[in-house]
Amino acid sequence: MARIRLLLVAVGLALAPAPGHAFESRVLESVVSVLPLWPGHQRGGQSRVPPGAAPEGTATAIRAGGYLVTALHVVARALEITVRLPDGREVPAELVGRDPPTDLAVLKVEADLPVLDDAPEPALGAPVCAVGNQFGLGLSVTCGVVSALHRSGTGFNAIEDFVQTDAAVNPGASGGPLVDAQGRLVGVLSAIFTKDADADIGINFAASVALVRRVVGDLIAHGRVIRARSGLRVADLELEMRARLVGARVVAVTPGGAAEQAGIEAGDVIVRVGARPVRKASDVTSAFQLYRPGDRVAVTVARGGAERSFELALPQ
């Protein structure tokens, strides 16, 4: 038993990222603390309450020119927004756009921060670190692994494409980056599962970098997200179907819509969107959110005991 414990410790040490000067220069210089002024609060809390009692958060540089991404719930009620830069200066931030379905928002400041490279989709168990202004104490780094990919239907947001991690995340970290061992952006911290207390229990979620880029691009260009219409309405499989199939049942197709034109019918069971497997209805919604109007999307369905593939042309 002792040898097994030593082996597990050795494996954990081999996998764990090793933050240091290089990590600081690549990652911490790209992250800011968000200090919103909320109704009924002094900015940054009041003198007699613990740090973090008034809502604070985090934001991550996402595009050159001072563009930052954060979680919308950090700034949704803010009367004004200030951010603390990596060098300690506090500067005003402009709210460029918000997207309630994904709980993402874009801010802009008069400071050009370094932007992290995007990470490729990580493997399960891959080491990651979370950076955030946890409980309003200032930026800190916690590390863990990727616990799951493409989480959807958790109940936090209408549209979800979450990377799940056990890296410790607490209130105030929302909007901070989840990065891999090379300091590349895996996702943006968004939500934590808790019981009765607002404290970390090792089930934490970051919006995937693919979803973040999709939303941020539209918010900067248009001030809103322009979403593609698949023409599909789907539902989870009935209990008796789950012994035979895995996917999401097509309940209806919009007359003249992309799905109908491609040949998909009510009663089909969607098993893949692109290369992404579908296990439940929320997976279909999540997968289509990564595409833009005008894209062509391969959809695989189960029909009559066989799989068939169709290509949807998403309308402009």
- Structure confidence by residue, pLDDT tens digits, 125-179: 999 999 999 988 899 999 999 999 999 998 899 999 999 999 999 889 999 999 9
Q: Which of 34-38, 76-80, 91-95 has the highest mean pLDDT?
A: 91-95
Q: Whose CA is closest to 63, among 199, 213, 193?
A: 213
Q: Whose CA is closest to 98, among 21, 150, 48, 36?
A: 36
Question: Annotated catalytic, 118?
Answer: no
Say if CB 204 and CB 212 are below 8 A apart: no
Structure tokens at 19: 């933050």
* Active-site choice (73, 161, 166, 268): 73
Domain ranges of the chain: 18-225, 232-313
Mean pLDDT, the chain, integer: 88
Percent of the chain whose predicted confidence (pLDDT) is above 90: 76
Residue 8 pLDDT level (bands cut at 50, 70, 90): very low
Question: Annotated catalytic, 286?
Answer: no
Does 6 or 253 have the greater pLDDT score? 253
pLDDT digits (tens, 9 = 90+) for 269-282: 999 999 999 999 99
Q: According to the CATH classification, is domain 18-225 in 2.50.20.10? A: no
Identify the three-state secondary structure at position 30: helix
**Whole-structure pTM value:** 0.86
Say if CB 267 and CB 281 are below 8 A apart: no
Say if CB 102 and CB 88 are below 8 A apart: no
Q: Report how far residue 257's alpha carbon sits from residue 262's, in angstroms, rounded to the nearest whole number.
A: 9
Residue 203 pLDDT level (bands cut at 50, 70, 90): confident
Does 35 or 6 have the greater pLDDT score? 35
* Active-site choice (30, 33, 99, 103): 103
Average pLDDT over residues 218-246: 95
Which CATH number applies to 232-313? 2.30.42.10
* Active-site choice (30, 147, 152, 174): 174
pLDDT of residue 26: 79
Residue 218 backbone class (left: φ over 0; alpha: ψ -120 to 50; beta: rest)? alpha
Residue 49 pLDDT level (bands cut at 50, 70, 90): very low
Percent of the chain whose predicted confidence (pLDDT) is above 70: 86
Question: Annotated catalytic, 103?
Answer: yes
18-225 shares its CATH topology with 232-313: no
